[in-house]
Chain A
Amino acid sequence: MKNHVLRPLWVAILLVIALLVARKLYVPADFGINGRNFTYGYYRKASVNDWKEFKVKYKGRQYCKECHEENFDSISKSKHRIIQCENCHGPAIDHPDNPEALEIDRSRGLCLRCHADLPYPGSHRNDLPAIDPEEHNPDKACADCHNPHKPDLEG
């Protein structure tokens, strides 16, 4: 009965111990200072791998070339060679397994991204061939007249 004054302190210490035990059980072992310092590098190390294993969807034109060499060649000769296949054909993901067929974007909106007229002084946009989408055959699909792989009507 002498030191009843310290009883709340023992309770507090018990709580701290309980917290430390819970922490030990709950927090993954690889959590700690894994980077350059505590400020910027305190984390769960396995998280980096989580991100490394994220699925790639856009495979790049070399992947497309493996099967579609003809189309690859045709566009390589046109001004549109700077555009990646997947920008219009959609991300390959695991094509041809999944998805079996890619959905091609044939909308006017896709072409207008570059070719809607915006006469902006000082912008590279100004250098691209442009039309006014409300004037230039508004009801037609661009691909009706222009072959995206061979965009110049003359060529």
Chain B
Amino acid sequence: MIEPSVYVHGLEWTTKELFTYPNEFITWSIQIVMYPYMTGLVAGAFVLSSLYHVFGQKDLKDLARFSLVFSLALLPVAAMPLLLHLQQPLRAMHPLFTPHFTSAISAFGIVFSTYGLIVLSEIWFVYRKHFVDQVHELKGIKGSKLKRMIFIILTMGAMDISEAALAKDKKAVTIMAAIGIPVACFLHGYAGFIFGSVKANALWMSPLMPVIFIMSAVVSGIALCMLTYILIMEFKKIKAAIARGMGDTSVQAIKGIEMEVITKATRYLIIFLVAAISLEILDLIFRGYTAMKSWDILRSVMYGKDFVDIFMLQYGIGNLLPFIMLLWPKRTLRRVAIATTLILFGVFMMRWNVVIGGQAFSLSFAGFMHYHMPIIPHNWETFKEGLGGVILVIISPYALFWVINKFTPSLGTVEEKI
């Protein structure tokens, strides 16, 4: 007879098997799976855009602009899972007010805002000319007063678009992108540190954890950018075909550029994918070989209860299959789209297997816990820490991107070329 005002966190989605301590529940649920997944996408998208700005990979130019703006759209969404997870969301500012730096979570606010400022200023430098142009263009046009006001604010009063000023912008972009790479990696690597440093958890505690997280983050970020890019370009193709009639050459033109961009991006995707998988396998082999006290229970979780999740879904369908699909000769856009979707799924399963898998066994090593994600919510808790919360987190970046892209058009370059 539990009173309604009393809420036992985790009771609704945890089942226990054999012996567990009474207070053990799946405390870190689906939103903590989403958190490293979303930060990973942010970091990956940013690294992809930096490949162009810093390392001068010119072939990535179109993708770079898009992924930069997209990483901004993803940024607030990376913090969303944490807010949805907190039991006291109104106190979310406390880590910024009284950061206890011995905790991996405390730096989140600082690293996150630093990174946000870097992305914002980089975008500002990239789009400053656009903002100024818009201010001039919209002058006197009816109904655009508000829009022009926003653009005026966005210029922050810097209206100079002389050659010299633009050259300075370009230099600033390179510098911001260069600073951004380590910060992005840090942002994500330290999400790995949050798990890797929990000594109480036999599955999580590993110095490799941050590196594994960075690698798979970059993989997922590149995959997401490629997939979104393909989808948007396909959409444009359809639009172009309708507008100009079937058989128009512009469709072919878009297709050619698209494939070129995707081919180059695929190369980086594969490099990071190999690195991520190698590290994960190394971690697994090392645990088996050293066979510490916890290995018995870890083995029964990995090779037993979670076998399908880890070896079939994550490594098989999420890593190996797309790996073959990408390397197979005569690559097509459709195949790349499917492969990147599978990779995104694979990285999600990796996060799942770390977060949920790490709580699949009791700290006593004498029992198991099972997580049942709430599908149909019957209260706020089961919504936010269930399927509803996941969907909310997944669609938010696209909604945000739609808004942001109104002010910083990141998909226009191809059309200009035509």
Contact = CB atoms under 8 A, between A and B. Distances in A.
A112 to B, nearest CB: 20
B120 A8 contact: yes
B121 interface: yes
Interface of B: 93, 96-98, 100-102, 113, 117, 120-121, 124-125, 128, 156-160, 165, 168-169, 172
| Interface pairs A-B: 6 shortest CB-CB | A4-B158, A8-B121, A1-B160, A39-B102, A23-B97, A7-B156
A101 interface: no
Interface residues of A, number: 18
B98 A27 contact: yes
A63 interface: no
A8 B117 contact: yes
Contacts of A23: 96-98
Nearest to B100: A42
Given A4-B165, A8-B124, A38 B102 contact: yes
Contacts, number: 49
A67 interface: no
A11 interface: yes
Contacts of B165: 1, 4
A27 B99 CA distance: 11
Contacts of B124: 7-8
Nearest to B128: A4
Contacts of B128: 4
B272 to A, nearest CB: 29
A26 interface: yes
Given A5-B172, A23-B98, 20 more contacts: A1-B159, A1-B165, A4-B156, A4-B157, A4-B165, A4-B168, A5-B125, A5-B169, A7-B124, A7-B158, A8-B121, A8-B124, A8-B125, A11-B156, A23-B97, A26-B93, A26-B97, A27-B98, A31-B98, A38-B100
Nearest to B102: A39
Contacts of B169: 5
Residue of A4, A7, A39, A42 contacting most chain B CB atoms (<10 Å): A4
B157 to A, nearest CB: 8
Nearest to B121: A8
A39 to B, nearest CB: 5
A82 interface: no
Nearest to A11: B156
Contacts of B168: 4-5
